[in-house]
Each structure stands twice: as C-alpha cells, then as structure tokens.
Chain A
Amino acid sequence: MKKKLLALALACGMIFSLAACGNDSAGNNTPATNSETPEAVSSEAPESQAPSYEPATVRVAYMPNLGSAGSLFVGISQGFFEEVGLTVETFEFQGGPAEIAAMASGDIDISQIGHGAHSLCIQGQAKIFQMDHTTSLSDVVVGNRAKGIETIEDLKGKTVAVASGTSSEIILQQALARAGMTIDDINTVEMTVDGMTTALVSGQIDAAASWSPNTVTLQNTLGDDYVNLGCNADFLDSAIFPSSYICTPQYAEENHDILVRFAQALDKAHDWRAEHPEEMAKILAAELDAPEDTMLQAVGEADWYTITEVCGDMEAIKTVYETQQGIFLNNGTITEEVPVEDYVLFDVMQEAYDAYAAAK
C-alpha cells in the first residue's frame, strides 16, 4: 500500500513538476535499454530532417470509444503514421481480451487496450510498447434507481452485468471492496458492453459495469434513474488506470523498428489530442459512425494531458505500471509480482520519444 501511494505521488508529482518533456531529462531517466537498438534511430535522425522510412502496413485493433480509438484515428487523419512510412489498417473490437486473442492468432499486429487487459500483459501474453494515457476516466458502475439501487451496498444479491477482463470489471471490484463486499456478494452475468446497455435500460439487470460512450447513452436514456456507483475518479487516490498500445512478444522481436515508428507517431498524436480534444471527438464520430453529441459528451473520459508531460520520463511511466500491477495483485487477478521491464518495452518508448523530440 505504502509503495503504491508513494508511486502515485511520484506519478502525480511528475505531472506538475515537469515544465516540459525535455530532451535531456528524458535521456537521464532512461533505464538500461538494449544497446544495439538505438543505433538505427540515432543514425537516422541526424541524417536529415525528413528521414525516409521503409513503407510498412500494420493491422491495429481498437475499441469504439474516445479513450481507445482517439490517438489512433488522430494519427491516421492527421497523417502522423504516414509521415513515418506506416499504413494503418484498423479493426474494431469490443474488448481488450478479444484483441489480445486476435493478436495471438496473428490476425492483428498491434492493439490498444484499456487497463483491465493489462493483466494479460503481466501474465506474459503481450508486450506494452507505448502508453496511450496515464489514466482512463471512462469506466462507471451504473445502477438503475428504478430497481432500488442507490448505493453500492444495494447491489448485494442483485444482478450486475460485467465483461470479464475489462477495465470496468476492475472498477466494479474496487467499488465493492470499498464497501467491504466482494464479487461473490453480487450475482454477476457476463455480457458485452453494448448488450448490458440494452439489458439495463430494459430492466433485465440491476446494474452494469459499463464504459464510455455507453455510459453517456445510459445517462441519456435512464435520466434520473441513472446512478453512478463508482468510477475511475473515485479511486485515483489509491489507483491509476493507464491504457496502452501492445503487441505480441514475437512481433516485438521481429519489428522493433516498426514499433518505434508507430510509437513516435502516437507521441505526436498525443500532443495534438491534448490540444484539440473536441476535434478528436468529431473525427471519431465520423470514423466510428457514432452520434457526434455522444462523442462530444464523452470528451472527458480520459486524462489526455498527463501523457504529453510524462512521455519521455521512463521512471514515471514505470511507476504508473508498477502501481497498476499492485492493483491486480491486490484483487487477486494475478498471483505473483512480475518486473515491469518483463512486459513493458521502455526501449521502444524511449527511442520513439527521442525521434519525435528530434523531429520537432
């Protein structure tokens, strides 16, 4: 616990203390990385201002919400991927675990996952090569007042829909734990996030561990019956909910250069996103064929800013992932602690950041 809080303080402190993501400070904080890999970039970068890249195509999985698809579609629409010679093919999924399964079977190269699916990375199923944002604010445990739900305690013995392995499941666990309850005190039913939206509105279930933009839909549909029983913001004093871009260990080994370029484009997209959150919402509404109002209402579903501050600080990023692992250890999702370096490719992040900073 103490370690966690310390880590959080570090992470949060970083946000305010760092004036900017300086080139130097990033270099100083870099943990030991592969010595042979930076060569490629360092030799490329000084050569010219617009280095030429070998064209490559990457298949990327996303989930249809701002937090997951934001940086990806900003990167595509603003041509950031094109700049580094990457053509991006996008594939829509409804959950991180499904994305990882698709990567394992070779259908997908890269996935954007919410914090829930990070447990699969810790278990060795995938490697993280770029952080997408430091904390998500999109998950909400929504109760239906019409079914007599006012507080988290009212959920005892009630039916709650949940999608296993997703971020909202973690929030549900956290909310229950805070009320001194566990998942065994409620009656869970496994549903996809869209399915639980319909089920909650039609009264088939009492509550749902949902996320944006379905939470926006629920808010609009349920009106006064919408009860927020717990969301990411409630737990930020003791927890953090990052999201990341990941790939399989094998892909990482064979395509180091592509990952660096991809991460570099994302760094640029993060900056653009932090400056134009509403425009991002509009881009996504068009790309995902979703109502623009809903997307604009969901614009606060993640912390868009902090990542632009800490992107070059590998220590800060490491702290975030360590804190996150603590949450999984605490709630029993994983049973043994794993060094963060085992599943986070800090070298890729660092090289990408260096290249981006050099190009700026």
Chain B
Amino acid sequence: MLILVLILCLGTAVYVALRRRDVLALYLLGMSVSNLVMLAGIVIYIAKMGGTAAQQRAFLFLVPGIQTWLQFLPLSMDKLGFVVAIGRSLFPLFALLAALETTMIPFFRRRLKSLRILACIPPALWLTYYSPAVFRTLIGGRLWVLPVLINLVLAGIVAYLAAAAALMVLEYRATTMPVFKKNFRYVLLCFLSISILYLLYAVKDPAQIYNMFISEYIRLGVTTYISSTLPAVGWSVLGLCTVFFVVLGSYNMVRYTQISYDDERQDMMLQRKFDAAGVGTSVFVHGVKNQLLSSRVLHKKLSRALAEEPPDVERVRACAAQLNDLNEGMLRRMDELYRAVKNNAITLTPVTVDQLALTAVERFHGKYPDQPVVVELETHRLVLADLAHLSEAICNLLCNGYEAAVQAGRETPRVTLRVRGERMWTVVEAADNGGGIPAELQNKIFEPFFTSKNTNHNWGMGLYYVRKIVKSHLGRLRLESRPEEGTSFFIMLPLYDAHQKE
C-alpha cells in the first residue's frame, strides 16, 4: 500500500511540477520529493532487514515479490542511509522556504533573501554530519557525541517544522479575504498533511542504517526503522491516514494548481478573444455604420425640410436634435473603444485611497446624481495608481452594481465602496445588493463585448476595461457573488510601500 501511496505522491508531484512554475509550488514539490526519497529509502531498508515492521507486508510492499526484489537490491548501506538522510534533512528546509514564501509579515518579507540563505545552513551541516565517512570519523572514539547529535538534529528538524507551521498558521489567520483564505487553506492543509507523514518516520535516526556503532545504538535505545512504532491497529490506521493525507494533499495541490491555471487560461482566452479584434472591430464598425446610415436619413430629411419654401423650422429643429443625439452617442462609443484599447499609457503616481474613493464616487454621481454610495475606508494608505483610469474603473463597477440592484427590483438599491489593507495588498471592494451573477456567467463577464444589458446603450466593454486597467496596475480582479444577495468585486492593488505603517 505504501508503494501505491508513494507512486501517487510522485505522480502528483510531477503533475504539479508540469502545471505550475511558481516558487511556492516548487517548494511544495521539494517537500513531496524529499518525503518520497526518505520513505523509499526506509522501505528498502525494512525490506532488507526484516523485523516487526516487515510483517506489514501488504502495507509496505503490496506483494511479497516486491519485498524480495528490494531485499536483493545490491545497495550499500552507506548509500541507502545517506539517501534517507538527504530526504530527512531537505524536507524541513523546503517546508520553511515554503512558509517564508507565503508569509507577508514585513519583517520577514524585507529579509527574505538572507533568511533563505540562513535556512540552508543547518540542513547543510546535518548532511555533512550524516555523510558516512564524516559520521564514522566524528563518532568513532567519541561515543558520547552520538546521543547529543541525534537529539540536536531532531530538535533542529522539529524547530524548522514548528517555525514553518507557525508562519503558515499566522498567515492563514491574518488573511481575512475569503478568496485568499480559501486558496491558502489548501496550501496549509497540504503542508500539514505531508509534514505529519514525514514526522512519523523522521523522528528515527538515519545513521542506524550505516550499521556502525551498533552496540551504542542499542544501548541508547534509539528507535529503529525496522521496529513498528505503532501496534497492529495503529499500522492500519496509519495506512488509512497516509492514503487520506496524500489524497487530500494531492487534491489540494492540484486544486491550488488549478486556481492559478484557470487564471492564466482565462487571460489567454481573453487575449485571444480580443486579438481576434476583427470581431470587435466589425461589431463597432457595424454599430457606427448603422448610426451613420441613420445620420444620412436625417441629413436627407433636413435637406428636404430646408428645400421647402419657407423651410419647415420645426422639422429642422427636430432633425438637428436627433443628429445631435446620434453624434453624442457615436462620440461616447468612440470614447469607450478608445479607452478600452488605448489604455497602455497609464501614469502611476502615489494617490491616497481617500482621493481615489472620492474621485470614483464623484464620477458615479455624474451618472446617477441622487444615488448614495456607502464609503467605508479602513485604511488611508497610498496606492500607486493612475487616478483617472482607476477611478473610472471603480466608477464602472459602482454603476454596474447600482444597475444590477435596480434590475433585481430592490427597494433601496445599495452600493458600497470599501477599501482595506490586506497583507501585501490594498483591496478596493465594490459591493451591491443586486441579484448576483450566476456561476456560469462569472467567467464570461470579463470578455469583451459581453453584456447582459440592452446593447444600444451598453457595449459590453465595461468589465473588460476594468480588468485591463487593474492588470495595468499590476493588480488582480476577483469577484464573489451570492445569488439573490449581491455581488462584490475586489480590485487588489499591490502594497505601495511595505515599510509604511498602518
């Protein structure tokens, strides 16, 4: 069974490695592989040495044939022991690196590089100590060193894992945004499950495999790999737990992969959609052409009215008014398209969130003068933003929210603008009490030319524009929607100055 579990681990690790290319995934992969290396070494050792642990044949080797095969592998115990020591020493390192990668505590964040280097030193020392030649020289004739070093290394490993777990739990507790929290929960569970599996075997000293100083090991009562640390029932429970943890861990890692994979895929998809600019352009050209045709009809009417003797002033006035409307409409569309396409040139300057919120609300009131916006500012940080573009994007979200609330027939349509600091992000939330966005539409709404509203007034460029602006601010756009309760859009902007105090 353990063989199957290990194969599952390896498969997952490879899958995650293929899917993801970010540092955190790499560290989690490192943890998996270290664990795999250590456990594989121990299983081979048990196969070779027999003992009470080897009684659990089905659990360890699946079929007796595998045990026999492992038993006859021409491996020297020095190599085997050192392989186990490598897995055992690298796992805590990867765990700590992963935890450092996730932490947003400014103190650690600022010193990330030196902390990473520092974290590598103890495992390097452990590996030096466990290299068979060094181990033999170091302990030979100085047997009192053995228990000291066994406990020292074990304490180091436990300290590493405790520190990593503490950092991760702190980070999890400090995260308040549901989207982030959910995302992080998977990583945390994965981390914890692999760590528990690791610790079950990591408490035993790998140097016992070298078969040196046997008498001393027995005298010290060092627990051996070949002795089952758990009673028979414990083994079954451990087996089930292992499978559960690995499946959970694998699922979580894949989920974790998928979240960002989807994100990337969506980007690619949108890019392709808009790159097939012909579609957009033709929609635009078609719309404008229709209006130009209407304009031609109006011009003819105008000419006819003017040709009369005396000219029909009423009809001329009406035509002029219609022409004016048409012209304004076309200009508006032109503006929208221009805005959507030509937003590469944005200028990022430090802006207070108060300023940003105020400008956005002003713009909203330009469209819906009498509608109140609830503004809740939990932070007064600076953000790096192009005030005009970003406030327009926020205004866009507020307008959408208001319209959604009206469309849902709310007695008091309510839109709220919240700004708060969230670890390394400043989060601008635009929430409404509308009807919510159905799950199947949630991916579509960011596509260009998608709209659920009347196409004469709406071009479906709104959210595409918002997303584009947010991306150009190096931010992220997320949404959470509950049917019949409303929708929240989150604009997450990177923290402008990590040193700045709340």
Contacts and interface: CB of A to CB of B under 8 A. Distances in A.
Interface of A: 59, 61, 63-64, 91-95, 97-98, 100-102, 104-105, 107-108, 119-120, 123, 125, 161, 163-165, 189-192, 194-199, 202, 204-205, 289
A91 B49 CA distance: 11
B217 A101 contact: yes
A91 B51 contact: yes
Contact of B52 (A94, A107, A163, A199): A107
Given A92-B54, A105-B227, A107-B227, A199 B218 contact: no
Given A91-B50, A190-B210, A195 B219 contact: no
B23 interface: no
Interface stretch (B74-82, B267-275, B368-376): B74-82
Contact of B50 (A93, A125, A195): A93
A190 B77 contact: yes
A105 B223 contact: yes
Contacts of B228: 107
B211 A190 contact: yes
A123 to B, nearest CB: 5
Nearest to B45: A192
B225 to A, nearest CB: 10
Contacts of A189: 76, 78
Contacts, number: 104
Contacts of A197: 72
B51 A102 contact: yes
B168 to A, nearest CB: 34
**Which of A93, A102, A205 has the largest number of chain B CB atoms within 10 A?**
A102
Interface in B174-231: 208, 210-212, 214-215, 217-219, 221, 223-224, 226-228
A191 B77 contact: yes
Given A101-B208, A102-B227, 9 more contacts: A64-B50, A93-B49, A94-B49, A120-B215, A120-B218, A125-B215, A190-B78, A190-B211, A195-B71
**Which of A91, A165, A196, A289 has the largest number of chain B CB atoms within 10 A?**
A91
B48 interface: yes
B130 to A, nearest CB: 14
Smallest CB-CB A-B distances: 7 pairs: A199-B74, A190-B77, A198-B74, A107-B52, A93-B50, A192-B48, A164-B211
Nearest to B215: A123
Interface in B34-81: 48-52, 54-55, 64, 71-78
Contacts of A97: 211, 214, 218
A164 B49 contact: no
Contacts of B48: 94, 192, 194-195
Interface in B222-244: 223-224, 226-228
B400 to A, nearest CB: 68
A2 B476 CA distance: 89
A194 to B, nearest CB: 5
Contacts of B224: 98, 101-102, 105
Contact of B72 (A92, A165, A195, A204): A195
Interface in B480-502: none
B218 A95 contact: no
Contact of A202 (B74, B77, B208): B74
Nearest to A123: B215
Nearest to A203: B74
Contacts of B211: 97, 163-165, 190
A93 B51 CA distance: 5
Contacts of B55: 91
Contact of A101 (B54, B76, B210, B227): B227
A98 to B, nearest CB: 5
A94 B74 CA distance: 15
B51 A107 contact: yes
A186 B217 CA distance: 26
Nearest to A95: B49
**Which of A94, A105, A119, A196 has the largest number of chain B CB atoms within 10 A?**
A105
B72 to A, nearest CB: 5
A356 B400 CA distance: 98
A199 B74 CA distance: 5
A45 B212 CA distance: 46
Contact of B73 (A61, A94, A195): A195
Contacts of B214: 97, 101, 120, 164-165
Nearest to B54: A92
Nearest to A204: B74
A102 B226 contact: yes
Contacts of B210: 190
A204 B75 CA distance: 10
A59 B214 CA distance: 22
